[in-house]
Structure 1
């Protein structure tokens, strides 16, 4: 709505009586706000202005500063908080959550599809078409967009997470935001992407070893936080709501994430709580891989595959107390948490061994095996058995010049058979998360008419974040041949088969490597019968 230039038509102060009426409307529209909350927006005796824009929107500012609320069509039917207001009081509206990787799409002015929502354990709640909702990234308390629901919860329950979910009205960085002071609520807000709160802080804490502490907070910022910033991000704490590094660290010290202390009149970071949920939920290796992939996107394609594990309910006591069915852990993280569990439960037997308790015996060993509770067992074998009980997932990340041009492709999140499948396209990176090992692309050549005619078939391109219809069209243009795309048979099969006239078993693998970085090891070639 405010994606293009929005000019001011008129701006004037309103009377005290009108201010009282505005406050009354705000309290009626947003019952979760207290009197103190409303006074925070419009303090007593402060000048409140009504600003009319040329697109008929009416906005309300305080002290000739940031727009706090606006009426989209100027008819008085709807009062909407701006991102400035949402960052002051995030509880004004109920919040929808989307992935950080999806935020570039919203910051480009696109509506948010239902497929791009993160559904919490309790569901999305009850709502009707037209209801206001804020939009946030998990781990970031500041909403970055606001809009109205295009469907109700009953329709979502009936049809599933398909189609448009939220019609975007206003977002961080748009022209309405530009009417204010443009101060970022947090360094995690960048023009192209919203990150979990203090991504650089978390990355910095992961890069600091305990033996390096205590450390000057200024050194921590310059040597560990700032080097972790994403490409294009301008991390300036002075322009954030924290204003100072000390306030930022103090905020997370109160949350129990870290400890600081003044030593010899110098502020120092003295401890990191490595069991804190913010610390354990953050994966610096994945962030670095994404950053490296983005940087490499201008110089060619690159495929990286990493494996992770999901924990069944029966084994969650070994893992974080808040582990849920969608949390994925690297093998290194599983090992660290098993060691932490052994230490917590007094099972550390030393010399590469672990003492078995009831949970480990009951879930990692067969009934016919002789291991008993209280016995010691090699830690390495215990770890191997634990991994075997976890659900294996893989993450395929592909950086490519074409990916930077596919920001218009919405991120798709599809929950099928209780397994999470994700396909993301952002900042020059295409990322796919699926259960099990990587499914290679399959190619085959079919002989027809006694060998006088050939058809080349291509399947499972979705495993590498490729759209079968778009790839089929590209191959058709490249090799100047006819092409058809059809859904693969099977109720649980979601992929498609590309069929092209001619024998292209040599040409297509070369094309996939040059254009998408897909090496031959990810392509299986076989010949079909006549």
Structure 2
């Protein structure tokens, strides 16, 4: 964040009320500080100044300065200590250890990757995802950087210490440090929990204005060389330790068992934040959750790997998004019954803001439009259901069903067959007919038929039963829970309308019901046919959008829906006019 010079907007002395407010905010943000320590950090009788700056990326920050040294900075109403403050209070934040060569790259704007983190014999500090942490060097407890953890300690170990561990906000030797007196870190001896047998062989530290040289044990020499080689290949702002030796990674993770579920959780989180950071745009919102999963999240999966939510601890996409909503990363709403959409994303959230995609960009799942559209789409499974009404209840209550229960056609047939056999209604002379008893008469016959019809064929009996039940349907999108809606599902309606000057436009409706994003669909068709396409709300239909494409595009749309998206023909209406339209052309 402070790798490049920032622009100072204002520099003013703090008033007494502002000083008290700052002290209260620091006390609530860092409860580990005692009253005496707060007084030492923010003296009541010494000058404190507020400096408002713009970082090189455009972020607006507030820096609090005491004795010419920045002691705190505020970003998006969150307070962060500087290295000057941490040198006075080294135990304020949980600390993770790294090597001096790694610090040089962090000062240039790189984040801290887990291969560059030294795991001490006592283990890593226990932190949660999003925790503010300090970074120290081997042999010196004085913090040299602060950052936000991208995963919990458990997830770090589960990943085999691979991937990005911390989004670095501020380091020793960056521009924020240079705004102070440019003093070097003090030498603070590590807290030894066990006797160190090789302590007498190590060189004592000498206080300097630069990072002290550190003796590297032979057991860590290869890892250090690996970090140095990886770091040397990075440009300013890139990550550290991204390319590590597989054998070294295997050795460093020895003893850390990673279950398939934990590995899938890690992959799911990586693809999720990659999609929010680099794929989803504000103009895409509201975005169907099924579209987000198919078009954005899946496309961020590294080559050779595959996201399977069922194999994760979340099991369902809705549960995973609910967890992300609780973390205030996004907001999900049910804009239309049974169809959830992402309506809001907090792009300023640290987990999104400081996410850095892997160096090897995963290939996009979308094909070139010359070849069609995305093959990763899977059409929903649609099942017709039939609800038991009050009039039909007498026919079903013997089988234990209640009013309002929904059944599949095969279930309805089985219940009817069981009822007929249990009441011995099969015609004794012709088994293709069923005798009409009072229950069947009241449920299935019209008033004009009740005196004339005494027998029904089996097929007629079942057909009448289905016709008189309440129609419903169940839609199951891949990776999502089944959704039951009343009535029959509306088909995708494709029609051609004539406008002024004999111009024609093609209109497509109800794409949302089948998990297709209208905006994405319009963009794909627009590229395919090289014609303008727009999305407009449908009058009188809440949260429904109509795609309108210039010209008669029935044949192209039919090919996309039927061949590429694999939508069954019975769920697409209006394509029967395409052949006639083609002859006219």
Give the TM-score taking structure 1 as reference length. Answer: 0.39
Query: Hey, which of these two has a bigger chunk of strand by percent?
Result: 1
